[in-house]
Structure 1
Amino acid sequence: MSVSGPHILVTGSTRGIGAAIVDVLSGRGARVAGHGRSTTGNLLGEDLGAEGAGARLWDQALARLDGRIDVLVNNAGVFEAAGVDLPDAEWEAAWARTLQINLRAAADLSRLAVRHFLDRPGGGRIINVASRAAYRGDSPAHWHYAASKAGMVAMTKSIARGFAARGVLAFAVCPGFTLTGMADDYLASRGGETLLADIPLGRVADPEEVAAAVAFLTLEAPASMTGAILDINGASYVR
């Protein structure tokens, strides 16, 4: 990475965890390209639910960051219910949308990042924001979400094992409930305080706590940590 500060692409940074990641990395001297579904302010706009969106976003980020990206942070994701009683077409559409945004787009971006890192000295890093659901599972209406995040964890490990010798490092964080709009709706729908009783820490995580872990993996984690998955769930799931 450049001594002047790494060039970083962070997906899904309009609010919550993604916005916190951009803030902490920018505050530590990184040059960050944030992303949202549409172009707003300094954000790169691309709907990751669309086919080929990952490649288009990557090209935008390269242009924004003068042709060099040192770190990719895959944070964009959706958390939408799809119960087993849905009509077949709606069920299939829900699975396709969630897997496209949460996993396929992240895979497409990771592929481009790996190729970019292999072509330049110093390699690079990929940090994937997955979920506790990758290991613990999720509600009866969120199989697709859990499956997408489990795929993200498996992808992280595969990248780490496949490219470590060539300077490409990969990590993931697995938050539990976090104070974002997406989690707030879920907490309310599942009883709020009752769910909090399942978290030994007694509260959900702040976005800044997840961002601190991402910043550590981005800027400080030793190379020997590649492949590591960090849990941030208040001990609600301990592996």
Structure 2
Amino acid sequence: MAHILLTGGSRGIGAAIADRLREPHQLAVQATRGDLAADFADPAAPADLWTRALDRLDGRIDVLINNAGVFEAHDLSLPHDEWVAGWERTLRINLTAAAELSRLAVLHWQASGRPGRIVNIASRAAHRGDSPAHWHYAASKAGMVAMTKTIARAYAADGILAFAICPGFVATAMADAAGPATAQADIPLGRVAQVDEVATVAAFCATEAPESMTGAVLDINGASYVR
């Protein structure tokens, strides 16, 4: 039984991951509101969450799944200060919070001498970019992919593994907001991914993926972007 900290677990992909891993594993699930609440717009939140999650999981975390994130449009025509504030908020929530938790996880595993796994939910946007109103979102997800590769290369000898998952449009509120025509426009499969499909890959990386897969970046986008 693994002890797992999952961020962004209240809905969508995160809720599906939680459902997939809840049995037989022990979960601490973060959300902006709820039982293990943390608002990653607050710079103090990641370290505080880590401490509370350790307490919840009896002092041991084996797997960290960084899923929390925001997708907020900020058009170039916005006033400069407002545009910069949106950029900094997205980077703080999507990337910096995940980096802080990943650092704490690596230190935790190094101190204990136990292996560990990090699973980062990134995005197709990390590879192909996003809309003109989402520079910041694409940059945050590209940063997450680069961070995953760095962790994998740096700490494999310690038994610390890292994986990134890059969905395209998924059947969540984000795809709903974009509209079916936009979401499916360039997906050869003819439909967006389902949350259970992403959860299946996340659960595999968290608990079953062979060690030699560390550093892998896995695409779930219906062939809308292939590498």
State the TM-score, normalized to the length of structure 2: 0.98
- Classify the secondary structure of the residue corresponding to 2:46: helix
User: For residue 139 of structure 1, what is the amino acid of its counterpart?
Assistant: S
| Superposed CA offset, 1:148-187 (max 9, x none) | 00000000000000000011110010000001112321x2
How do 1:40-189 and structure 2 match up within 5 A? 40=34, 43-185=35-177, 187-188=178-179
For residue 7 of structure 2, what is the aligned residue in structure 1? 11
SS at match of 2:74: coil
Q: Distance in 2 between matches of 1:128 and 1:120?
A: 22
8 A Cα contact 2:63 2:206, kept in partner = yes
Separation of aligned partners in 1, 2:176 and 2:52:
32
Question: What is the percentage of aligned positions where both structures have the same residue?
Answer: 63
Structure 1 stretches (4+) deviating beyond 6 angstroms? none
Aligned partner (choices 10, 17, 24) of residue 20 of structure 2: 24
The counterpart of 2:186, out of the listed 169, 187, 198, is 198
Equivalent position of 1:214 in the other structure: 202
Change (3 A) 1:134 1:199: same
RMSD, matched Cα: 0.9
Give 5+ residue unaligned stretches, structure 2. none
Amino acid paired to 2:26: R
TM-score, length basis structure 1 = 0.93
Q: Distance in 1 between matches of 2:44 and 2:174?
A: 25
Gaps of 5+ in 1: none
Q: Quote the Cα distance in structure 2 between the aligned partners of 1:12 and 1:194.
A: 25
CA-to-aligned-CA distance 1:183-239 (integer Å, 9 cap, x gap): 321x22xxx324413100000011110000000001110001000000000000000
Distance 1:195 1:50 in 2: 31
Contact 2:175 2:183 in 1 (8 A): no
Count of residue pairs the alignment pairs up: 227
Q: Does 1:37 align with 2:29?
A: no
Task: Write the deviation string for residues 87-111 of structure 1: whole angstroms up to 9, x where unpaired.
Answer: 0111011001000000000000000
